[in-house]
Structure 1
Amino acid sequence: MTAQRGFVRRTVALTVTASVAALTLAACGDDGKASGKSGTGGHNAADVSFSKEMIQHHRQAVEMASLAADRASSNRVKSLATKIRGAQDPEITTMSGWLTSWGEKVPQDMTGMGHDMSSSTPGMMTGADMGKLEKASGAAFDTMFLNMMVEHHEGAVDMAKTEKADGGYRPATELATDVITAQSAEIEQMNKMLGKD
């Protein structure tokens, strides 16, 4: 009887140990999937590039959207600009937090300084483009703003698709999915406002 009890105890102990080991391995496996191709702390180089570039991209979109308050003539343009600012400001804060936690530098805020980052980042406006937008008002501003923001959003969607393909940090790839969904819908909305199919 005692021997049988001992056997049962050993069997239960082995079963529990095997279960814990399996769970530990599964957790490690999941972490491996989440952390992507390389890097430490669950992120890789693609996540760092995406966050740094998208912060600057979003900052320019927020700068463009801020101009609409006193330059746009259409309430629909003003409303869209407010929506863009409301979505992208918190995302800048989120991505800045990731970079800080990874020991990476958050890009310096160059908005409003005439710095031209358009050559390296998809959809970014040049300093000259921003100058034209700042000088425009009324219906001319509305058309210019919508055309520029469509191009800007298309660049963001391209960047987000790259992050989804190459990134390893799950919150970043999830943000990339959100960017694709939200900005693709806004591209469609802006094209309709411009009278394009």
Structure 2
Amino acid sequence: MKKYRFLIAFLVYAPRLQAQHPHHVTPEQTPKQVYLTMMDTMMVRMADAPVGNSPATIFLNQMILHHQGAIAMANYEIIHGKNGEMIQLAKSIRVEQKSEIEQMQLWLKQASANGTPIPLMFQPAMDQTMNVMMKTMPLTNALTDIDKAFAAVMKPHHQAAIDMAKVLLQYSGNGSVNAYARQLMANQQIDIDQMSDFLK
């Protein structure tokens, strides 16, 4: 049931994005459209993520894919970006989130097969973080500067990760994963502040 709810939530907002860009990167796409194409791919993968047997494992499965989406965008910025500050930020995001993915994968391997009860409102709250992210993506097709496009799309992506972490902390009793969620919130807020300053 969870996958269907998540996919339906994505499909509500997908047409708005699809009107701005196709599903595959083409030479005619603006930088913003390239990044949103990567976002589409991430959302489809998250809709098909393993369900998990606890709030912590659901969070980890979702956040791994969310991080992989950020890494894809960071890789594109590193190759094609022009602004040194944003390229360096992209490099930092790539290194940090690759390391975090490895840690999250380790936690999933170590997770108990028995799991813990999943509160009724946990998954809807997680789904809502993605709904908000899609609503707050930049709309203007005039955003052709590659570095500003990177920052404008990565900002709501980072905010969604923070919102996912907040949901986890509300419903999870897993000390290690909760501690990671708190650190994630702090780290990604720093990036958001930097991108906000860059976009001024």
TM-score, normalising length from structure 1? 0.59
Say which of 71, 74, 86 aligns to 1:62: 71
Question: Structure 1 counterpart of 2:104, which letter?
Answer: M
Q: Name the structure 1 match of 2:150.
A: 145
- CA-based RMSD of the aligned residues comes to 2.6
- Match runs of 1:38-117 below 5 Å: 45-102=54-111
Question: Is 1:157 matched with 2:162?
Answer: yes
Gaps of 5+ in 2: 1-52, 114-126
Report the Cα distance in structure 1 between the residues aligned to 2:178 and 2:145, rounded to whole angstroms.
Answer: 37
Q: In structure 2, how many angstroms separate the alpha carbons of the residues matched to 1:61 and 1:70? A: 14
**CA–CA distance in 2 between the matches of 1:169 and 1:175?**
10
**Aligned match of 1:194:** 199
Residue equivalent to 1:175: 180
Equivalenced residue count is 129
- Structure with higher Rg: it is 1
Output the CA distance in 2 between the equivalents of 1:174 and 1:180. Answer: 10
Given that residues 57 and 121 in structure 1 are in contact (C-alpha distance below 8 angstroms), is that contact kept between their aligned partners in structure 2?
A: no
Alpha-carbon shift at residue 144 of structure 1 (Å): 0.8
* Offset, 1:48: 0.9
Q: Secondary structure at the match of 1:148?
A: helix
> AA paired with 2:88?
S
What per-residue deviation string (whole Å, max 9, x for no partner) do you get for residues 26-47 of structure 1? xxxxxxxxxxxxxxxxxx7110
In 1: Cα distance, 2:111 partner to 2:55 partner: 13
Q: 1:149/1:191 Cα in 2 relative to 1: closer, same or farther (>3 Å)?
A: same
Unaligned 5+ residue runs, structure 1? Answer: 1-43, 105-118
State the alpha-carbon separation in 1 of the partners of residues 103 and 163 from structure 2: 20
Identity of aligned residues (%): 30
